[in-house]
Chain A
């Protein structure tokens, strides 16, 4: 019973975070300064999710060339910046990781 309550509580607060601003801002016209700030939400959020994935290894900062995720990530960033091609970026990034992991395991 406690577990059902816990899951219901988690579901309610999670849904509140998802619907909250959609419901609130859906009623009013967003002011230009809020709109200006919202422009940066996806940019800041994606960057904040990406950076630790490339730089963190087992809870520590690993900014060294023996970190395959950092190298593969930089390769993907370069391909994305030059070509702006989504699929090519994914292919290069994943291939680079697999190649580096293969080489480093030997």
Chain B
């Protein structure tokens, strides 16, 4: 133990461990990033057809950096929706991030403020998924440098998202249908690969099935409200069943 601590103070080894975590984050995100690139291209095309200037499309990808909110905003802009309403819709669409942040809080609590601010900015569905899975598995990763994994996962999505936005804006129409290859299917498949091994207790399984069923039943609801409702239902059923079974 002591020897490891001594090594840690050695700058060279610290760099190596941090870099290893960073690249592990990049690597684990690869299939999810490949799946997201078509959507970045589609956003670029959508922004162009909604009449947005290039700087606005790129600024939205850089500063908002939230796929589904950007899609909905581009649609609302094209319809001439009032700006406060677009901002409000953005907040509702992204409300699920608050739940992700709550789950992540105990793992980033000890970090300096600047780290927490930076990691929160880059958190997406995808980077939250791979990072929380690694953090909850004590056998994986280097705990002393775990913030580098999160940063790597965030960076893995940020850079391609900017490039694919520009690509869609300028040459999107020449690319044909970026979804024709079916790369977008990588998102549900990777999430399946992450979710299924986490379903250890019966309450986990019930929570997942209820959330999935409510999400499908509530598809018609606007602004991802169905997704929020489904997550809430899944949490409530999991906790409820856990309490019922522990009491009896």
For the complex, give the distance between the alpha carbons of A13 and B132 in Å. 23
A30 to B107, CA, bound (A): 12
Set B84, B95, B132: member contacting A42, Cβ < 8 A: B132
Residues in B1-46 with C-beta less than 8 Å from chain A: 31
User: Which chain B residues lie closer than 8 Å to A4 at the CB level?
Assistant: 56, 59
Is residue A5 within 8 Å, beta carbon to beta carbon, of the partner chain?
yes
- Residue contact B104 to A44, C-beta cutoff 8 Å: no
Prevailing SS type, chain A contact patch: helix
Least CB distance from B90 to A in Å reads 5
Q: How large is the interface on A (under 10, 10 to 19, 20 to 34, 35 or more residues)?
A: 35 or more
Q: Within 8 Å CB of B197, what residues of A?
A: 80, 84
Bound form: Cα–Cα A36–B128 in Å = 18
Q: Which of B201-218 contact A (CB under 8 A)?
A: 204, 207-216
Residues of B near A21 (CB, < 8 A) are 98-99, 101-102, 105
Given known pairs A73-B188, A98-B182, the reply for A44 and B234 (CB within 8 Å) is yes
B156 within 8 A of A: no
Residues of B within 8 A of A33 (CB): 239
Interchain CB contact under 8 A, B186 and A90: yes
Cα separation A7 to B215 with both chains bound (whole Å)? 29
Q: How far, in Å, is A49 (CB) from chain B's closest CB?
A: 6
A77 touches B66 (CB 8 A): no
Interface centre among B83, B91, B103 (most CB of A within 10 A): B103
Report whether A51 and B189 are in contact in the complex, using a CB–CB cutoff of 8 Å: no
Q: Which of B122-180 contact A (CB under 8 A)?
A: 123, 125, 128-129, 132-133
Residues of B within 8 A of A94 (CB): 182, 185-186, 189
User: Across the interface, do B109 and A48 meet the contact criterion of CB distance under 8 Å?
Assistant: no
Shortest CB-to-CB span from A53 to chain B, Å, is: 4
- Given that A11-B64, A22-B116, A42-B129 are contacting pairs, would A90 and B196 also be in contact in the complex, using a CB cutoff of 8 Å? no
Minimal Cβ-Cβ distance residue in A for B232: A44
Q: Contact: B104 with A90, CB < 8 Å?
A: no
The residue of chain A having its C-beta at the shortest distance from the C-beta of B63 within the complex is: A11
Q: Which of B31, B98, B185 has the most CB of A within 10 A?
A: B185
Find chain B residues with CB under 8 A from A72 CB: 185, 189
Chain B residues lying within 8 Å of A38, measured Cβ to Cβ, are 102-103
Residues in A with CB closer than 8 Å to B195 are: 42-43, 46-47, 50, 80
Apart from A47-B215, A53-B187, 15 more pairs, CB < 8 Å = A10-B69, A14-B64, A15-B121, A20-B101, A23-B116, A26-B105, A43-B238, A45-B211, A45-B231, A49-B215, A51-B211, A73-B188, A89-B192, A90-B193, A93-B188
The 6 lowest CB-CB distance pairs between A and B, nearest first, are: A44-B234, A51-B212, A93-B189, A80-B196, A25-B105, A48-B230
